[in-house]
Structure 1
Amino acid sequence: MDHQPFGAFMQTSFNQLKKMFLAVKPQGEYTERDWRPFFLFAESFTIQQETLERFYALAAEISPSVHPVLPPDNEIFSIKRNFFSTLFITVIRQILPETSNIHLYAFMNQGMRAWVTGCDNILDDEYKPIFDFLTIRGDRMRSVLTIMLAERVIQTYLLQSALPVETATTVIRTTYKALLPSAMQEGTEEARPVPVLPPDEIMERIHTPKTADLFAAPLYLPIQLESPPAELQHHANAGLRAFGLACQVLDDIRDFNLDLAQGRHNLACSVLADHYGQKLVHSLRQDPPGEPLACQFPDILPHILARADSYFEEAFHHFNQIGWELTPMAGEVIKRTIFHLLKLPELSGNVPSST
């Protein structure tokens, strides 16, 4: 990726954001106040892109010439691939506006992202690439190498940063600790089929450690190293956790058929059992339908979408409390964007308008 002056880089980032947000076609007209929070988001996106450049440059430097890692394509740097990382950077900057460690936090988050993706690939028997290994075949082995290489990239970054030993030790231990709650929950789903839990119970017992804790993980390190004010910590943590739960609810809508077939925890399955009884869910697990949830059970969809919307609104409330002031229009744009990112654009019109 060509290096640009920060101002030009920033303008490119904002234009990319603006193009994506306008594509979701929210109702109403934008005002300057609606756009204001996205300038901050664009600055964070620029930091994320700079982080990616360093991350992939180190990966290429570490990899032996006989088994090289190819340079990333432009899609790796897109806002669609980096929305959540950009969100995490934005929240950290709001609770630590004077920090000189933002690139450290962004880099470690990128490393954790590579770990999580590699692990998810193995657990879910899929392959979402982080690195483009030229000579390595086999998706599982690529996932294993993704985790190994990400570890070496992080190690090299910390060595080159010349951090004090005590700080580097804190970084290493904290990033590992941050991912343990989600990892422990994922481990419980290896024995399948899992029981169909009531909706509130699945959100509290399953999705909170699995996803809410994962979304809050990027806060562990900045809080450990710099101790921002307790009130800001609370709102940042609560906001990211609520945002993660909203996304998990939408994930469960999208993955309804797959989770049925694999006997996994899924909020939509729980709501379905709550409305029609567990017998129906167990029957569907034996013979999973092919149509999306919205076509099969349109009557339960509003209940699930309302829960997602409630989590989004809770997240926006907490983000406002840390100074990232999202207008109702800005909030609606973000919600609709998430529907598109999670490949549920046909449902984005069901998002209640806050304007």
Structure 2
Amino acid sequence: MIIGNLKLGKNLIQSFDILKKSQLALKKDVAEYKFYGQMECRISQENFLSSFKKNFFTLLMLSLLKESGIKNEKIISYGKIIILLRQIVTSVDNILDDERKGIIFIEGMDNLIVESSLINLVAQDLLTKEITKLESDRMEKKASRILLEKIYSIAKGESLRRRSLYEKYPHKEYIIENIHGPIGGELLEISLTVPMVLEENNLKLNAFREGLFKIGMSLQALDDFFDMEEDYEKNNINLSTGDYIEKYNISEEKIDFKNLEKEFVESYMNKVINEAYEGFDILKSNGFPLSEKDGKYILRKLFIIRGLEDYIEYIK
């Protein structure tokens, strides 16, 4: 077992089975388009251990939905929504980074931007159909609108990262509220947006959302530390850089990114890790079977994925 906690391990394995069913159901939906002959929905045949590494947060979302008392049939639909949201975000990243990743691909298009744009239209169409299927007649049909508003908030937060927008480097409090809130906290919790709207008065789900927000903020802060030099070169605002500027009263161009003071690294890492623990504690206190040992294990894996093996010592 990849995690010693038997209840959590069982929960994640059950979520893995639901994920596979969601993927297969989505593949059938994609096959209904007339141009399916040119389109492929790639379903990986990976085992649980491989999926745990690649799809940890998707498995976590499905596990939280299950722990919230939602029936498996509906979780399968929510799983499709989560996959489609990931595809939309990935397609945007593909355009920005000149890459070709995801689960849906369209052959015969030489222009990556055109392919990614069309894939996004397909994903949005499938997303709307799935949400409509889940909404009852008594509902106000508002889930898609709220989801779009959430996506807009994330996009706006991303746009505020441009350094050229600011005469002086913004304070870390501004970065946390206006940039990290959307691209960190909201980006992680967005998978629960539709269930939050449709599963009315589910108190557990709302609490889990709060925990995910904190974990998302922590991980974005961790990414910023890892990307300090890269963000400087790309003229992006970075929380770790902002924190360093305020602590040492230094201009950004004078920072030696490869030789940061040990006291700064230790202080920053402790704040990042503590915020993640706060998020894990919220999940645990609302019934999710996550022990302190499990939280440390997950953090270590996330550090390794981000290339931060040298900083695992700060996870205590």
TM-score (norm 1): 0.77
Does the 8 Å contact 2:30/2:36 carry over to 1?
A: no
Alpha-carbon distance between aligned partners in 2 of 1:329 and 1:148, rounded to the nearest angstrom: 42
Match of 2:146 among 161, 166, 174: 174
Give distance in 1, aligned partners of 2:225 and 2:163.
22
Give, in whole Å, the separation in 1 of the partners of 2:239 and 2:40.
Answer: 39
Query: CA-atom RMSD, angstroms?
Result: 2.9
Q: Does the Cα contact within 8 Å between 1:44 and 1:90 map onto a contact in 2?
A: yes
Match among 294, 307, 312 for residue 330 of structure 1: 294
Cα deviation for residue 324 of structure 1 reads 0.8
Report the CA distance shift for 1:253/1:49 in structure 2 as closer, same or farther (over 3 A): farther
CA distance in 1, matches of 2:303, 2:100: 20
**Residue 113 (str. 1) matches residue 86 (str. 2):** yes
What is the match of residue 48 of structure 1?
A: 19
Q: 2:283 maps to which residue? A: 319
Match of residue 297 from structure 1 = 260
SS at match of 1:136: coil
Letter in 1 for 2:301: T
Partner SS state of residue 93, structure 2:
helix
**For residues 198 and 182 of structure 2, what CA distance do their matches in structure 1 show?**
23
Say if 1:158 and 1:168, in contact at 8 Å, map to a contact too: no
Amino acid in the other structure paired with 1:95:
S
1:65: how far off? 5.2
| Offset at residue 242 of structure 1 (A) | 0.6
* Alignment match of 2:180 (pick from 203, 207, 224): 207
Change (3 A) 1:272 1:162: closer
CA deviation map 1:84-127 (0-9, x unaligned): 111122222222345752122221122111112222333x4342
Range 183-192 or range 219-228, more displaced: 183-192
2:242 to 267, 270, 294: 270
Give the partner amino acid of 2:312. Answer: S
**Larger RCO of the pair (alpha carbons < 8 Å, separation 6+):** 1
1:145 aligns to 2:118 (yes or no): yes
Shift of 1:270: 1.2
Partner residue of 1:96?
Answer: 69
Instruction: Please say if residues 199 and 267 of structure 1, whose CA atoms lie closer than 8 Å, have aligned partners that are also in contact.
Output: yes
Q: 2: CA distance between counterparts of 1:257 and 1:56?
A: 40
Match for 2:9 among 14, 35, 38? 38
Give yes or no for the alignment of 1:216 onto 2:189.
yes
Report if the CA contact (8 A) 2:161-2:179 is conserved: no
Q: 1:81 to 1:193 in 2, by over 3 A?
A: farther
Equivalent residue, structure 2, for 1:5: none
SS in structure 2 of the partner of residue 78 of structure 1: helix
CA positional deviation for 1:234: 4.3
CA contact (8 A) 1:211 1:245 kept: yes
1:43–1:72 CA distance, 2 compared to 1 (3 A): closer
**Secondary structure of the structure 1 residue equivalent to 2:164:** coil
The AA in structure 2 aligned to 1:133 is I
Query: What's 1:244 paired with?
Result: 216
CA-to-aligned-CA distance 1:46-90 (integer Å, 9 cap, x gap): 212221222234334426256332634446982222111111222
1:258 is aligned to 2:227: no
Q: How many residues align?
A: 311
Q: Which amino acid aligns with 2:209?
A: N
Question: Conserved in 2, the CA contact under 8 Å of 1:35 and 1:330?
Answer: no
CA distance in 2, matches of 1:162, 1:196: 45
Shift of 1:193: 6.0
Say if 1:67 and 1:136, in contact at 8 Å, map to a contact too.
no
CA apart distance, 1:147: 0.9
TM-score with structure 2 length normalisation? Answer: 0.85
